[in-house]
Structure 1
């Protein structure tokens, strides 16, 4: 388990992480979300003792990271897949880490096989593709067979097969009772992987809840109905005290009702329905709604305006 209590980090006048308190529990995949500049990387670095908190505390299985003997046996992390000496082979990189943490040599072979790098184990890391580098970073995280795993953008550079593999791996690790903490900007992938979400914005905690509850709380849920008999449908719904909003093309939207009740009412009155479907926002839509006020950098849609030039052909 990872436990944060009032964790705070300031850089001069800027507060990067502001009084964060939450726990990352074993047995589930916990997603860590936030806009760019929200403080996710700083938080993860403090968890690993790479940055010292200005205030507050973070513990790994009840202890500070710097008090862990052979820390790779407690927590494995992928923060930066490029943090590898380019002149070392994948095998030698992992062997060095293993020797520094009292991990047997045979474990190096095991994790290379797990991540699919056995065939290139003796090749220098500087020749690795982005995806191969990610796999090597994941191998390093798994090296000590730790109870806690932390991944920052683990699917970066992976092909579809690799993405499916890491998703399955994280779920499997959580299924073994391990603590799995993963940060990613890919909402579609997070929706398929995470069971629980921790969301921060401008360094503050915005949500600490299950995936289902997060989407339900931060999105609109409604029933979409399509019919060739719009007026009859309106009469039936109105008679039952249900308000429907026209969406065009014979489509209506109803809030606060179950599709089963609407379908039963339509069947009783012989109203033909071509569609009756519950609608709910995606994780991305729910995330955008919650963090709208916490985004530090806003891009503007539309094509860029043409520059204005003076008569000499230079910018005016």
Structure 2
């Protein structure tokens, strides 16, 4: 178990982590989410004692990291896959870690086999691909058979087989009763891996809840109904106390009803349905909605304008996009547009 209490880190005028308090519990994969600059990596570094908190405390099984005599038996972590000596063979890199923590040498071979690197055990990491470097970092985290695993962006550089492997591994470790704490920017992958979420923005805690509850609380779920008799169906829904609204492709959308009830209503009145489906938001949509006001770095959209904010519930962007009043200054050309014009003139 990892416990954070009022954990705060300031770098000069920059408040990177602001009073974080939460607990990462065993038996489940806990996802750690937040926009770039939210303070995720800084928080993980403080868990491992690599950064000293300005205020607050973080405990690993009741102790600070510095108090753990052989820390790799308690917590294994992957924060930076390239944090290895490029000229030291993969086997020897793990052997150094093992000897410093009282881990038998046989465990080195076991860890390399677990991550699929047994055939390159005598090769130097400076020639490894990004994915192979990730696997070596994961092997180091598993080396001491720890009760707690912490991974920062573990799927970076992995191919589809590798992503499936690390997802399955983390879920298996959690089923064994271990604590698994993982950060990632890949929302689709996190949705398949984590059961619990901790979300931060600008160093502050935004959510500490289950995956299903997080999506339910930060997104819209509705029933989509498509029928060749939309007006009649709308009247039936309204008479039943529901509030249908027009949707895409002539469908009706119902926020305050469930699919079985609506299906039974249609069947009772002989209304043919072409579609009856419950529409749930993805983790990405829920995350974007919650953190819209916490994004520190906004990219520019094509044309030099800033990317539009996520629309609030119940609103929709103008179908033709933002309109400029007559005489208003025009936005700068899209990236590369002037170069393409010059190239065309030269041709």
Q: TM-score, normalised by structure 1?
A: 0.96
User: Counterparts of 1:1-316 in structure 2 under 5 Å?
Assistant: 1-304=1-304, 305-306=332-333
Range with bigger deviation, 249-258 or 104-113: 249-258
Deviation at 1:256, TM superposition (A): 1.3
Change in Cα spacing, 1:78 to 1:248, as seen in structure 2 (3 Å) is closer
SS in 2 for 1:224: strand
CA distance in 1 between counterparts of 2:49 and 2:157 reads 27
For residues 202-223 of structure 1, give each alpha carbon's deviation from its aligned partner in whole angstroms, at most 9, with x where no partner exists: 0000000000000000000100
Gaps of 5+ in 2: 305-331, 343-347
RMSD: 1.3
Deviation at 1:248, TM superposition (A): 4.1
Whether the 8 Å contact between 2:234 and 2:252 is mirrored in structure 1 is no
CA distance in 2 between counterparts of 1:189 and 1:252 reads 31
Whether the 8 Å contact between 1:85 and 1:93 is mirrored in structure 2 is yes
CA distance in 2 between counterparts of 1:192 and 1:295 reads 24
CA distance in 1 between counterparts of 2:230 and 2:188 reads 35
CA distance in 1 between counterparts of 2:249 and 2:98 reads 64
CA distance in 2 between counterparts of 1:211 and 1:238 reads 33
Whether the 8 Å contact between 1:6 and 1:21 is mirrored in structure 2 is yes
CA distance in 1 between counterparts of 2:197 and 2:203 reads 15
For residues 118-163 of structure 1, give each alpha carbon's deviation from its aligned partner in whole angstroms, at most 9, with x where no partner exists: 0000001101000000000000000000000000000000000000
CA distance in 2 between counterparts of 1:112 and 1:280 reads 41
SS in 1 for 2:146: coil
**Which of structures 1 and 2 has the larger relative contact order (alpha carbons within 8 angstroms, sep 6+)?**
1
Deviation at 1:302, TM superposition (A): 2.5
For residues 289-311 of structure 1, give each alpha carbon's deviation from its aligned partner in whole angstroms, at most 9, with x where no partner exists: 000000001113224433999xx
CA distance in 2 between counterparts of 1:118 and 1:300 reads 45
Q: TM-score, normalised by structure 2?
A: 0.88
Whether the 8 Å contact between 1:7 and 1:18 is mirrored in structure 2 is yes
CA distance in 2 between counterparts of 1:70 and 1:26 reads 20
For residues 230-285 of structure 1, give each alpha carbon's deviation from its aligned partner in whole angstroms, at most 9, with x where no partner exists: 11111211221222111243311011111111101100000000100011110000
For residues 59-94 of structure 1, give each alpha carbon's deviation from its aligned partner in whole angstroms, at most 9, with x where no partner exists: 000000000011001000000000010001110000
Change in Cα spacing, 1:248 to 1:88, as seen in structure 2 (3 Å) is closer
